[in-house]
Chains A and B, each alone.
Chain A
Amino acid sequence: KNEVEQSPQNLTAQEGEFITINCSYSVGISALHWLQQHPGGGIVSLFMLSSGKKKHGRLIATINIQEKHSSLHITASHPRDSAVYICAVWSNNDMRFGAGTRLTVKP
């Protein structure tokens, strides 16, 4: 079993829908990242959080340390949000990555 599990693996939504991507981890962590990988491959960091909640535009990331779970929410989704979203955790001085969630938002 992977130390970082994401669900769902694939997600298709209609433009305007509220989207939730989940991340569960089984190791102790010092921080959790949400990354975005667009078609064409580049990866950018969306959020780094170790507690609570962060918001940037239409994106919201939450983490529950006790439950070892994080969620990434996208409000009013748009086709340009189509990408692979990757959850990664810092644990024991190493970063461990989930396999990613492929999101497709249809117009």
Chain B
Amino acid sequence: NAGVTQTPKFRILKIGQSMTLQCTQDMNHNYMYWYRQDPGMGLKLIYYSVGAGITDKGEVPNGYNVSRSTTEDFPLRLELAAPSQTSVYFCASSYRRVAGELFFGEGSRLTVL
């Protein structure tokens, strides 16, 4: 049982480049989330999904896009990367939206130069 799998673990981008962070879970969870973690700050929600075909913005969505074509996959796309997007990104899933235990991926460290 792999849980939540994120790729890549590390990536360096140049300003203006685009990339997709992949996230897949094998627990049949409806709810999936993308967070970013910046030094000295709590995790911030970028986007979330309550099921296949349904996504919504979180606290810090600007510069990102998501899609949810299947229950398993929830990719995060960065368009026109900026230095402010340098961060560690975590994908997570849960079996219910409110007060559900979160299962996290290992994180993806992104640097934009």
Chain B associates with chain A: yes
- A44 & B97 in contact (Cβ 8 Å cutoff): no
Give the residues in chain B near A40, CB-CB below 8 Å: 106
**Residues in A neighbouring B101, C-beta threshold 8 A:** 33, 45, 48
Please report which residues of chain B, range 34-49, place their CB below 8 angstroms from some CB of chain A when the two chains form the complex: 40-45
Q: Is the CB of A33 within 8 A of B102?
A: yes
Main secondary structure of the interface of B (DSSP, over half): loop
User: Does A95 touch B at the CB level, under 8 Å?
Assistant: yes
B98 A30 Cβ-Cβ under 8 A: yes
Q: Of residues 1 to 27 in B, which have CB atoms within 8 Å of A's CB atoms?
A: none
How many A-B contacts if CB must be within 8 Å? 53
Contacts of A86 on B, CB cut-off 8 Å?
42-43
Q: In the bound complex, do residue B42 and residue A4 qualify as a contact, i.e. CB atoms below 8 Å apart? A: yes
A90 in complex: contacting residue of B44, B92, B98, B105, CB < 8 Å: B98
Number of contacting residues on A, CB 8 A? 25
Dominant secondary structure of chain A at its interface with chain B:
strand
**Number of chain B residues whose Cβ lies closer than 8 Å to a Cβ of chain A:** 22
Q: With A98-B42, A99-B41 in contact, is A48–B106 under 8 Å at CB? A: no
Whether B42 pairs with A97 at a CB distance below 8 angstroms is: yes
Interface membership of chain A positions 40-73, coded 1 if the CB is closer than 8 angstroms to chain B and 0 otherwise: 1111110010100000000000000000000000
| Complex: A2 Cα to B59 Cα, angstroms | 14
Q: How far is the CA of A4 from the CA of B42 in the complex (A)?
A: 9
Could you list which residues of chain A lie within 8 angstroms of chain B, going by C-beta atoms? Answer: 2, 4, 30-31, 33, 35, 40-45, 48, 50, 86, 88, 90, 93-100
